[in-house]
Structure 1
């Protein structure tokens, strides 16, 4: 059974996950790319796929390093199945890069639990989120994660609250300098950064509707149990789980307000939701029910291909 196979963390699971991701990536790109084949195009897409693989391993590292789940491969499996369910999520390279930077920032914020090198971790988190904002301006909403982390870890020293501002200023100065050297109109860039649109008509495709409905259904159901389980978590680990939950809420907000809606904006939900859903899978006593949930995530992308 699939749930039993992924119940333990093994290298073969990563091989399977990357293989499935490759199939989904090739299918998504063949459907989306219209330019003629060239070596440049080939190497470019190999680089983009490498970023997708990096995202998977970064998620696995984030979870394993901070004990956000038990030692299993559910989070990797779920993440890849989410991508398979909504292949459009990996069509925007900028969003893939931004998502990686957000994961780096989350890793630094969660590691504040140790209360060591606080200033360095806060600077890094602000720096990574600022970089993410360059690729997806609405990723700036993830700065709320820093503020929430400061409260959750009871960091009251005013100097530590100033450090994230320095991290943001660093990226602003570097970005501004680059735009001046490159002769870019930074005023126009800033003015056009935060476009907002609540027009969801571009998502009015049956396969996308099915994917989003399934994602939100799984997410809402799992979050209910995730919140219930927070009190049972060790006190010093509890802030880490709250950060994941807040990250999921922020990712949903990003997907709602982002102007160019085509499905790629949902990529930001996948990592935190994979962690939340994995926590839910771990408390399901009926193995058959867990098997059904996983099989549904496997069958749904195949059905979407037919739609």
Structure 2
């Protein structure tokens, strides 16, 4: 399975002041990702603000994405929801609209048990009928998948990958080795957390689920390809150019910074959904400075 491998770019979902999607602008973001050659699009992930959108807005976003990218770049759609019934409905809709895969996070208000999460995934995977990636994102969901739960979920039909957070101890090779010993041979173990992508990919991670690639797909792809080729020096060089942006991601959260990046790139003011606030103007100046090396193709377009 190659769906959950390489670079998966996660775009913002631009909306107007009433929270309604702006499909033309979304399609512009997607066109950049497709043209750059990313391996997949991660629609309606955390960067896409799925948790803040109504089901209707999510379905409109999905249809705009399918119209732009279907048959060109594989489309992975986030279907996380507070209730299993709604997540099942979103999964079925993704399949019917023409998505290629699903990404599922265990959203909740009440803390969930392992058994509750297992049954939730079992139901949604069956309803969607598409290849599904486990979205292990404790920073937002406050639920951490244990290795045992990941192994149990990997036995379900259609569950073929996991999107892991950055390894707390930095030992990506060890973490992947342990998970691979517990999961099917073709189960794909990838990582999010952009500032650790270089390390995860060089250690053998199957996929970088990338926030920054939603707006800067070309330098993100250059970093991915260098790491995939085992070219540690080139991966380090490109990652160093990203370092000021990674610092902003860690300080303010990548979600907020991405809206500032979009404005700096000339896409107009795209405000995050309340209660999330846009960065103050002084911080946006730091974003513009961090972008400069990444917009210079001479710094990242060398061969790997």
TM range (shorter): 0.3 to 0.5
> TM-score, structure 2 length as denominator?
0.36
Larger radius of gyration: 1
Q: Pick the structure with more strand per residue.
A: 2
Q: Which has the higher contact order (CA 8 A, sep 6+)?
A: 1
TM-score by length of 1: 0.35
